[in-house]
Every structure is written in structure tokens, then in C-alpha cells.
Structure 1
Amino acid sequence: MTSHRPNGPRAGFWSRRTLLRVLIVLTLVSGTNYLVWRWLDSVNWNYWWIAVPLVLAETYSLIDAFLFGTTMWRLRERGEPPPPVEATVDVFITTYNEPIDLVMATARAALAIDRPHRTWVLDDGARDELRQAAEAAGVGYLTRSTDWADRPRHAKAGNLNNALFATDGEFLLILDADQVPDPAILDRTLGYFRDPKVALVQTPQWFVNVDDSDPLGSQAPLFYGPIQQGKDGWNAAFFCGSNAVLRREALMQIGVVGYVREVGRAVRVALDAAGRVVREARRTAAEHSPAVVRALDEVDAAVGRARAELKQGEPLSEVTYRFQQRVDEAGRGVVAADAESLRADLAAIEALPIASDDELGAVIVDDVALQRLAARDWSPLGALESVKALVRAVDVDLVAEAQPVMPMATISVTEDMATAMRLHGAGWRTMYHHEVLARGLAPEDLSSMLHQRLRWSQGTLQVMLKENPLTQPGLSLGQRLMYFATMWSYLSGFAAVVYIAAPVLYLFFGIRPVQTFGGEFLARLLPYLIITQVLFSVVGYGIKTWRGQQYSLALFPLWIRACTTAVGNVFFGRSLGFVVTPKERQQGGGIPWRLIRPQVVAMVVLVAAAVVGLIRLGLGLAPTAQGTWVNLVWVVYDLVVLSVVIEAARYRGPVSVEERAT
């Protein structure tokens, strides 16, 4: 396939965007009209246990349509890129356990990139065979430094962060191990960096081993097209982990900001513990002298002032220094009155598990120490000393990590979205260049595809739970909505269960979640559905978007699993079990029915419901004939959508790894 060369906004672009905006407005108006009626007049409260979930699922879908419409509102088609800037570039090829021949095919193609650059293989598997192959080809080879031993590795983000501190190029081209670059990739992207505020230029991911039917939905033409172009219009184009060029300065800036944020969090935790210590000491302070009570009041005020200074953005070193000075001042004059109790308290402080790392010059206080400091019944002056020990013990070197500054975000198993969101929050700009400039390998079987989708959805939901874009500082309203739209889409699994269950309950048992399926229902629903499909058709004109729509429903068990595991990881510390997506076919010759068991069960139940519904209609047992036909159409739609997983389970990739370079 030849590269897609952009030639500026195509003829009729502005009229197309006007049409899109009209359809977006009509979709939202018709959808709101339908949902208001559903909530106010049509919920069958006799069966609230299915009626309420159904109207909530429909509300979810309308919000999803609003977010999609907002994305498309500023759809942007960029023209020819500016001439490239002259700069130093490091090409990073990330790998863990991919076949060495595959990695080296990408590396050799990277060597042939037109503009001056240095090519590096970042081998997280530390394989001697790959090192030798890279050296023989004249390719740089990097693996983790010894600083990473016995510390969190942070998967691909950690691999990239390690390489950032071992290289010095002004710009970075990041490629996955299977993404073979076009020689012109830097010529076509570096020009955007003439704008000094541009931090990222993302290009599409396109796969050579996907045929026209694309039963696994790998090509994602809707995302790597209208959606990214829409986000680009809001200055919210995403970093997608590969086929992107980034500005080192921007990454290092957000890395430093992240470091300051982590130290600030540690100081806030220490101040919270200090506040608890002082409150406990004040509880018994009445039996001491007025000077002691006054000292505790002053320390409590010092804790409040330190918190306020942190919120105002005061430098951490100055905040902690002033706090220590205030505590010292409060403690003067009460030493003699509290000397005997102080001796016992100092001995208790000495016994706390506060370790010193002489090599790093750091003092480390762990959670056990914090709990003991906050919980002990201190004498008033002992409380003052413990408060100072808490703040002194903040780990400013972050010695639990291999390196204190992590430019690539490490809060998620997918580092790309979180990194892009932090870049946008820091005021940087991003661009989406819609031209295929690298060709890779998609998963060739259902098992690998499901694993890949699960990792993507888990990572996205981790970001939502840890750094919700709706509350992150520095983002514009449009950027908040663009990030949230992607995160919101992964909640569709719960709505899908309801959309499958509702027609089954009606056809089997005559349970109506809606008061009527009659004329008013159809008059309000059909315009909404028709206009929505027309909108999708205009957005996806000339590209195949049906697979994406199918998988949003058909992978409902996976989306639900992603939600539960992401919540378990973020709030309960459970592992996600990160594994690199295989680049070669994994399953044997049989159909892996176990992977799609929930969907197969759902399809069997839907077929049975259709048969029972027709029988009940013929026997005169159906609540209404119109309701039966509406739900039969609903069942047929569900079956058509779910059928994609059967095709996916039977699919075998048409192109082998060895054939992709030809």
C-alpha cells in the first residue's frame, strides 16, 4: 500500500463539515426528545429492575452520541506539512520478547530513514542475541540500567524513560517492534515542530496483515481518521504509543512536574499525619501549662499555613523549611516543663522504622512509621518533635523508583494517553498527521486481539480513575471532553448486557420495560436512530466503520472485565498481569469457543427468545403484536452485531511475519 499523502482539505470539506454539524444537532435534539419522554412518561415501574437499567443504558448511549458529536464538530483535515526542521533525532524501537528477525527488520528500515538520526533498539528483554544482531547492523542497543534492579519496571513506559536518560536527541521517533517506518517519516512530521509549543505529532497505525474483511477490527479506520482528526481540532490528538514524534524538552518538562507533584503529595501526607499528632496531643493538653497549650496551637496553625502554601504553589523546599522553623519556634520555652516526658518520646522516635540511605542521601519513612507517629499518645513536646520528624522524613529522592523523574507517565499499563494528557495539561500542543508512514502487524487471532483490547481498555480506565480529565488542571473544556469520550466508551459493556437482556425478557415472559412499544415510542425513537446512522455514514464516508460499531457491543464481556480489573488495580492494588501483545498467531487449528462463551450463550438465548416470542404471538399470549415485532427486530440486530465474534474466532491471518516485508 502506498502512503496516504495529504493534499490539503479535500474539495467539499467545508460543506461536509457543515452537514456534519447539522446532523450532530439533529441527533442530539432527537435523542434528547426521546430520552426526556422515556424518563418522564414511558418507564414501566412495575418492572423497575429492568426498566431503570434500560433507560440508564439509553442515557449512556445519548451521552456517548453527544461526546462523539463534540469530537466531530471540529474535525480537522491538515494539508501538506511544513518543511522539516533541522534537529537531532533519536529513533526508539521498543521490544520485549518479539522475534529478533521482526525487530531487526524494523531497525534496518529505521536506518534507512532519510533525515540524519540515530537508531536505537530498546530491549526490555536484555537478549544477547538481539544485542549482537543490533551491533552487527550498526544499530544502537539499550537495555535497563542497574538502577532498575528490584524496583518497579513500569513496562514500556519504564523502557522509554530509561532510554530518555541515555540519549540526547532533540526529538524522538517512537516505533513498536513491528512498525516498519517509511523513509520519509521524519520529512513528513518534523515540520510541525516549527511551532515551539508542539510536543507531539501522531501518525496512523496501519497493518499489512489485515485483509479487506478485517474480522478482528484491527485497522480502526474510524479512530485513525475522523476521531483523531476531530480530537486534533480541539488540540487533543492522542499519543498512541507508536508511529509518533515527540519533543524531548516537552517530555522532560512534564517529568519534572511529575516529580514535584509526587514530592508534594508526600509532603501533604506528612502534614496530614502531623495534624493528627497535634490534635491527639491537644486532647490531653489541658493538664499541662498554658505555654504548652499555646505551643500546640501554634503548631496546628503552622500545619494549616503549610497546606495553604502548598495549594498556592509555593516551592516545596521553602514550605518545609518555614514549617520546621515555626515548629522550632513553638517548642522554645516549653522544654523544661516537659523534659521528663520528652526523654521517653525521643526514645520512641529513635525506635521508629525510619531508614537512612547514605548513598542517596535520603531519609525514608514508611507507612508503619507514619502510623506509629500519628497514633502514639505523645507528650506535647514529644508531639512537636514527631511532627518535625515526619516532614524531615519525606523521600525527596523517590528512592523507591529507579529514577525520580519519569517523563513517560507510569500510572497506567498504556503510557501513551496519560503522557499526552499531561502534555496538554502543561500547555503543549499536539498534531495528528493523517498519512500512513509506518506499517505494522496486527494480532492474527482472536486470543491476541482480545488480549490487546483488554490492555488498551484497562490502561485507559486506569487513567480515568487516577487522573480523571474532568478534574485535571491545565486542560481546556474541549480537551477534557476528548479524553473523557475515549474513557467513557469503555463503559459500554454494562449497557450492552441490558440491550441484550431487555428483548429476551419481553419475548420469553412478556415483561415490558417500556409502557408501550406503540406509535409514540416509534415516532420518538426512529428519527433518533435514523439520524444517528446517517451521521455515522457521513463521518465514515469512504471508510469501513461497521466493525468498530460491532465490537463496541460484541466485546461486552471484555469491557466489563476491564472495568472490574482496573478498579481492583487502582483501589485494591491487584495486579493486571501486563503481557506484551503477541505478534505471531497463538492459537491452534480449532475454534477457540472458550474465548467467546458469553457471546455464544447470549446468541443462543436470543435465538430461543425469538422462537418463543413468535410462538407466543401465534398463540395470542404476547402482550401486543407490535411489541413482539419491535423486539424481534431488536434481537436480529443484536445477533448481527454479535456474529462478528464467530467470524473472528474462525479467522486466520492472511499474511505471515516473513511475508510482510515483500
Structure 2
Amino acid sequence: MSGRHQALLQVGDTRRWGIRALVVLTLVTGADYLVWRWLDSINWAQWWLAVPLVLAETYSLLDAFLFGATVWRIRQRAEPPPPPPDATVDVFVTTYDEPVDLVMVTARAARDIRYPHRTWVLDDGARPEVQDAALTAGVGYLTRSADWAGMPRHAKAGNLNNALLATDGEFLLVLDADQVPHPTILDRTLGWFDDPRVALVQTPQWFANVDDDDVLGSQAPLFYGPIQQGKDGWDAAYFCGSNAVLRREALMQLGVAGYVRAVERSIRDALRTAGRVIARARTEARAAGPAVHAALGEVAGAVRRARVEVAAGEPVSEVTYRFQQRVDAAGRGVVTDDLARMEADLAEIAGMTGRSGAAVLTAELDGAVLTRLAQRDWSPIAALESVKALVCSVDVDLAGEAQPVMPLATNSVTEDMATSMRLHAMGWRTVYHHEVLARGLAPQDLAAMLAQRLRWSQGTLQLALRQNPLVQRGLSVGQRLMYLATMWSYLAGFAALVYIAAPIAYLCFGVRPVNADGDAFLLHLVPFLLTTLLLFRVVGHGMRTWRGQQYSLALFPVWIRACTTAAANVLFHRDLGFVVTPKTPTATPRPAWRLVRVQLVTMGLLVAAAVVGLVRLHLGIAPSAYGTWVNLAWVAYDLLVLSVVVPAARHLGLATDERTTA
């Protein structure tokens, strides 16, 4: 090991232990503050604001805990191992409606990656001009097969799933249409796959069209740095949709497992329905003979047994075969009994009509005979056949999908995180390689940025509602916490609403949600605030993190909308849609004030509240001078954070594409 590498490890260890000390201090001071708030300072007389405020503060402490847990095992990896000499690699450039020139800049750079590979443009827009440009550049071209016509498309996940079944490389490099790769990207990442348990190597996303001011907060140095490195320490770094290499074997195993789960789900649904059919048949056949009741009881038992076998993980084909054999055995006894009853009925009818039993079958029956037949309890054979048909008709081909095997998850518009969680649950490992190896284009105006953030938050919350990481089998405790940390962060909109409303209510109406004197408040709050700020300062040392902190509050309408729409999608099946983030500014750029009108109105209310508070203080009708000044400082901080929307609305994007592979 070189002296330089040893020095880096020593610096990393020192920093890690310093971060851990600050995490402990933050949690201790935060717990002290929160216990005091819940036990001694809630103004129950004004509970309608006091309780939401303390709940928002509890949310913030849990958020700090999850952040602390993330950076607790922050991991700075050494140099990657050399790449294998003979691996086969497919490079996928995904596109839908991006400009052809933009796509081809990326495609040509992908073609020129040094490590031997094949490059494919995955054109979900099926555009002839893209196909012509790709073939001219010597790049492969793929679009959806005919099997996808009229089927759910699953956006980018569907595009990649289609390509996975049309190619055969051992590894896949996934690039968004705007992410120009460095020629050494495969040389720097493939070596991590020496560990046969590694399924994914993720690298940062970095944007060339963002200046130092980063008005739209596009660069994410805290996420593509300490946060992903911290998740990596817990073996929970996840796929971010682009600039990542994946192992085909892991994805196909994931797809097969998903197929099996889908078929098992169909079997369970069929067996539940079969149970209801038999229960109804037993109710309707109360007057039937003992053979009928015995047969229906046997079939009900067969349903229960099959459900247990499916739950135990037995092969579906064996479960269904045994079930059908049991139903057939029960049905034979019913047929024998039913034939005897039918012969008795025919004999009785023959006596009524004076004809032989055979003649009854062909004679024109009078009303009395029809009445006699209508009163008969008919055989439950139809119910038994219905049960068999239900189980036999299970859709093992998953005809509602274009292809039965879907390696990348399709249950969320953030297919990347959903896929990662499933890989981790199956025991696969992931690597975060902290080196910029591709340069992309960030959203160039506010509308595009808001659409992107909304999609990210909607997809993450979809996943939280459908696959809560806390109850997913196969995940370690650390992995559960790391996925929860990302999902938890998108609930911040509701806390932000309370943090904005509380000082307005105090300054304008004298509402006091906190019932305490100033000294006690400062004694408990200040240590927590100082340690939290110091923790963020140390973790983000040398990084520009202020924009991210501003947008975590300033985008509160987006986070709230994401929560409500994701819940509506999961619970009521309302469509979310999928919008590709535009990579070029609008044709007629102009300030987008309407997109931030909620924030602008909020800023106006805060300013008005500050004026009212000062007037009330001057007139001597404020609850206290101390409380007024504290809330004025609170308003000033809220205004400082929200002010980011003003330059964001006026931002018209950079005119040039500065991507480079240098």
C-alpha cells in the first residue's frame, strides 16, 4: 500500500470518527430538546398549532437521525481493481424525445469508450431520423418489439427491459441521452465486479451546463458524495438511473423472481375465488345428499391445502396439478351420486306422464313436469368444474404484459431505486464509485426542474407505499434504514408548512404554541441547532450545499403534491404519467413566476406578519418582546431560504452545451 493511500485512509478514519462524535451529540441534544418539548412546553390551550409544531419537530429529529445513520459508516473506496480482460458489455443510451443531435453526442462518446463493448441507442420514440443517425455512426439501434403494441409500456423501465431481452452482454452500462461518458468509464468500474456478489456499480451524475451559482440546485454534491458513500458503507448504495453498470445475471434473476411472484399472486387470487365458489355451492346444496356435502368439503380442504403449499413456496405447477387431482377425485363421487338421483327423478317423472324414462327425454314436457324439474337440487358438478377452470386458467404467460420477465422494476416511476431494493433483498451487493465519469445536462429552466423533482418524489413515495423497506424480507437493518431515509425526506413538505405557519400565527394573532420562558427555550434548542449545523458543515466540508438546503424547504408545494398524487396512484389507481425531463429550455424563455406563486404568496405573508409583529410590539400588545424577536428571526430565515425561487423563476438556462469527455 502506498504512503499516499495510507494517508488518505488515515484522513478518512479521522473524519469518520469526527462525524460519528457529532452524530451522537446531535442525537443527544435533539432527544433532550424533544423530550422537553413533549413533556414541558406544549401549549395545550392552543393545541391546533402546538401539536402540529411538535410533530414537525419530531419529524425533523428523526430526519436528523436518519442522516446521522447514513453518514455513520461513510465509505471512501480505494482504487478499483483492474477490469476483467474478456467481459462482454452492452452500452445502452436511452432516449424518448430528446433532440437527435444531443442523443448522438452521447452515442458517439459511448461508441468510443475504450473497453471493448457494443453500443445501442434505445429509442422509445421509434424515430426514423434517430435510427438513420445511429446506423451512420456505427451504433446499434433498438426500439420496442411488436409485442409491446397495446400493452403497458412502463416508460424507461420498459425500454430497458425490452433491450435486455434483445441483447446478451454480461454487463450493461446505462446512460441517459444527455450523459456523455468518459472513455475510461468501463475501465474504472468493471473491476468491482470481481466480487461475484456485486450487481451494480453506480457513479455520480455531474452537469456541465451549471454555473457556480447553481440557481436551480441541480448539482447534488451532498447526495453524490457523503450520502451515497454513507449508503455504500451499509451496502445500500442504489441505482440512480444513469451512469451505472449492472450485471445481467442479477437483473435476469430479478426478472425471473418477479415472474414467479406474479404467477403465485395469480394462483393465490384464483384459490381465493375458488374458496368463495365452493362456500356458495355448499350453502346452496344444503338439501343435497351426504355424498355432495362430502365432495364439497373435500374440495374446500383442497383449496386450503393448495393455499398453504403456495405460501410455503412449493412449485406452482406441482401445486396446481395436485389440486386438480383432488378436485377430480371429489367430483367422481358426486357424479355417481348425481346419476342415481337423476335416474330416480326420471323414473318419478315417467310415472307422472305414463312414458318410459327414455321417452321423457324426448317428449314435450308439460307444466307439471317442468315444475318438478325446477324444484330439483341440481348437481354441484358445475361448481367443481368452475373451481378447476379457475386454477387451470392462471395466466402463466402474463398476457397482460408485453413480456413475462421484467428484470427492471415497473411498479414505480423511479424504477432505479425499486430495482436496487429488490437486488439488495435477494442478497446482491452494490458499489458506489465516487468518480465523475460522465457529464450531463441539467434542467435548463424552472419548469423542467420542477417536473424532474416531482417525478423523483412521486416515484420514491410510490415505492414507500407499495414496498415499505421496513417490512421487506431479505434487507439488512442498515439497508432498511437507508431506503427509509430517502423516502422519509420527501415528507418534508408538511413540516415546512407548519414551520411557516407558526411564526405567522404568533406575530399576527399572538398564538403561542410553545409554553415556556426564553431561558428554558434557549437552553434546550440552541445546543441541538449548533450540533446539527456543525454536523452538516463537517459532512459537507468543501461542498456547495446551501442550494440543496434552500430547496428542501422552498419546494414544499412539490413535496406535498407528490405525497397526495402518489397516495392517489397507489390507493385509487390514478395515473401519474411519466414526463421525460426536457434537456433544452423553452422556445420562448421568460420568467416563470406562475410556477412559484405559492412560494411568492408565502413570502408576502411572512413579510406582512413581520410588519404586524413589529406594530404589535410597538403598541405593547405582543405576547412578549422576546417571543416577537425570536419569531422575527424565524421569519427572516424562512424568507432567506424561500428567496431562492426568485432567481430560479428568472433563470433562462445556459445557451451552450458544455459537455466534454476531457
Q: Which residue of 2 aligns with 1:174?
A: 174
* 1:201 partner SS: strand
* 2:55 partner SS: helix
Contact 2:208 2:658 in 1 (8 A): no
AA of the residue aligned to 1:79: A
Contact 2:425 2:472 in 1 (8 A): yes
Distance in 2 (CA, whole Å) between partners of 1:658 and 1:643 is 28
**2:598 is the counterpart of 1:592:** no
Q: Which residue of 1 aligns with 2:241?
A: 241
* 1:200 partner SS: strand
Paired residues for 1:37-436 under 5 Å: 37-86=36-85, 87-338=87-338, 380-436=380-436
Q: Which residue of 1 aligns with 2:360?
A: none
Q: Which residue of 1 aligns with 2:374?
A: none
User: 1:185-215 CA distances to partner (integer Å, 9 max, x unpaired)?
Assistant: 0000000000001000000000000011111
Distance in 1 (CA, whole Å) between partners of 2:5 and 2:105 is 27
**Cα distance, 1:10 vs. partner?**
5.0
Structure 1 residues 660, 88: CA separation in 2 closer, same or farther (over 3 Å shift)? closer
Q: Which residue of 1 aligns with 2:572?
A: 572
**2:511 is the counterpart of 1:511:** yes
**2:564 is the counterpart of 1:558:** no
Distance in 1 (CA, whole Å) between partners of 2:624 and 2:382 is 78
TM superposition score normalised by structure 1: 0.92
Structure 1 residues 295, 151: CA separation in 2 closer, same or farther (over 3 Å shift)? same
Structure 1 residues 378, 410: CA separation in 2 closer, same or farther (over 3 Å shift)? farther
Contact 2:42 2:513 in 1 (8 A): yes
**Cα distance, 1:548 vs. partner?**
1.2
* 1:334 partner SS: helix
Q: Which residue of 1 aligns with 2:629?
A: 629
Q: Which residue of 2 aligns with 1:359?
A: none
**Cα distance, 1:244 vs. partner?**
0.3
Distance in 1 (CA, whole Å) between partners of 2:423 and 2:335 is 50
**Cα distance, 1:661 vs. partner?**
7.6
**Cα distance, 1:143 vs. partner?**
0.7
**Cα distance, 1:72 vs. partner?**
0.6
* 2:333 partner SS: coil
Q: Which residue of 1 aligns with 2:362?
A: none
Distance in 2 (CA, whole Å) between partners of 1:341 and 1:127 is 69
Distance in 2 (CA, whole Å) between partners of 1:660 and 1:193 is 27
Q: Which residue of 1 aligns with 2:20?
A: 21
AA of the residue aligned to 1:455: R
**2:601 is the counterpart of 1:601:** yes
Moved more, 639-648 or 39-48: 39-48
Distance in 1 (CA, whole Å) between partners of 2:598 and 2:7 is 46
Moved more, 33-42 or 101-110: 33-42
Structure 1 residues 461, 303: CA separation in 2 closer, same or farther (over 3 Å shift)? same
Distance in 2 (CA, whole Å) between partners of 1:580 and 1:6 is 42
Distance in 2 (CA, whole Å) between partners of 1:6 and 1:204 is 22
Contact 1:341 1:382 in 2 (8 A): no
Structure 2 residues not aligned, in runs of 5+: 343-376
Contact 2:210 2:442 in 1 (8 A): yes
Contact 1:50 1:513 in 2 (8 A): yes
Distance in 2 (CA, whole Å) between partners of 1:503 and 1:225 is 35
**Cα distance, 1:425 vs. partner?**
0.8
Q: Which residue of 2 aligns with 1:33?
A: 32
Distance in 1 (CA, whole Å) between partners of 2:561 and 2:627 is 33
Contact 2:504 2:609 in 1 (8 A): yes
**Cα distance, 1:490 vs. partner?**
0.6
Contact 1:8 1:77 in 2 (8 A): no
Contact 2:96 2:123 in 1 (8 A): yes
Moved more, 289-298 or 469-478: 289-298
User: 1:69-119 CA distances to partner (integer Å, 9 max, x unpaired)?
Assistant: 111111000010001013010000000111111111111111111110001
Structure 1 residues 378, 653: CA separation in 2 closer, same or farther (over 3 Å shift)? farther
Distance in 2 (CA, whole Å) between partners of 1:8 and 1:410 is 45
Larger Rg: 2
* 2:469 partner SS: coil
**Cα distance, 1:297 vs. partner?**
2.0
Question: For the aligned residues, what is the CA RMSD?
Answer: 1.9
The aligned length equals: 624
**Cα distance, 1:281 vs. partner?**
2.3
Q: Which residue of 1 aligns with 2:583?
A: 583
**Cα distance, 1:609 vs. partner?**
0.5
Distance in 2 (CA, whole Å) between partners of 1:79 and 1:70 is 22
Contact 1:106 1:178 in 2 (8 A): yes
Structure 1 residues 219, 391: CA separation in 2 closer, same or farther (over 3 Å shift)? same
Distance in 2 (CA, whole Å) between partners of 1:124 and 1:398 is 22
User: 1:538-590 CA distances to partner (integer Å, 9 max, x unpaired)?
Assistant: 10001111111111111000011111111111121211121111000126343
Of all paired residues, the percent bearing the same amino acid is: 71
AA of the residue aligned to 2:212: D
AA of the residue aligned to 1:235: D
AA of the residue aligned to 2:228: Q
Structure 1 residues 635, 178: CA separation in 2 closer, same or farther (over 3 Å shift)? same
Contact 1:202 1:239 in 2 (8 A): yes
Q: Which residue of 2 aligns with 1:349?
A: none
Moved more, 462-471 or 496-505: 462-471
Distance in 2 (CA, whole Å) between partners of 1:579 and 1:341 is 65
Paired residues for 1:453-492 under 5 Å: 453-492=453-492
Structure 1 residues not aligned, in runs of 5+: 343-376
* 1:84 partner SS: coil
TM superposition score normalised by structure 2: 0.92
AA of the residue aligned to 1:413: V
**Cα distance, 1:603 vs. partner?**
0.4
User: 1:577-635 CA distances to partner (integer Å, 9 max, x unpaired)?
Assistant: 21111000126343211100110011000010011011111111111111111111111
Contact 2:591 2:652 in 1 (8 A): no
Distance in 1 (CA, whole Å) between partners of 2:283 and 2:509 is 64
* 2:280 partner SS: helix
AA of the residue aligned to 2:15: R
**Cα distance, 1:474 vs. partner?**
1.0
